[in-house]
Amino acid sequence: MITRIFHGVAWLVVGGLVVEFYLAGAALFGATTFQPHRALGVALAAAILLLLVMALIARPGRRVVGLAAVLTVLTIVQLLLPSLSTGLPWVAALHVVNAVALASVTVGIARAPGRAV
C-alpha cells in the first residue's frame, strides 16, 4: 500500500515540476511574478523530503532509495541557487539545469517498478 502511495506522490511531484517550469516562464514573460513559482517550489521541496521518508519506510529497492536521496540533495541545491544571483549569477543560472535534473530523477522514481511490502 505504501509503495503505491509513494509512486503516487512521485507522479504528483513530476506534475508539480511541470507547473514550476510554466510558472517560471510566465514570470519571465511578465504574466505574473515569481512568487507563485517560489511558493510551489517550497511545497515541492516538502513533498520531495516526504518522498525520501516514504522510500526509507517502503523500501522499494536500493536504486529507488538512492534516487530519492539524490533528489533530496538536488532539491537543497535548487533552493540555494537563487540566493547566488547577485554575487555569482553564472552559478545561479544553473537553477534551470538543476530543475531538469530534478525532473529526470523524479520521473525515474515514479516509473520504477514497485515492490510489495
Average pLDDT over residues 40-46: 98
pTM: 0.91
pLDDT at position 116 over 60:
no
Selection from 106, 108, 110, 87 nearest residue 98 by Cα: 106
pLDDT in tens, 74-114: 999 999 999 999 999 999 999 999 999 999 999 999 999 86
Residue the block writes with cell 510551489? 40
C-alpha cell at 38: 517560489
Alpha carbon of residue 55 to chain centroid: 15
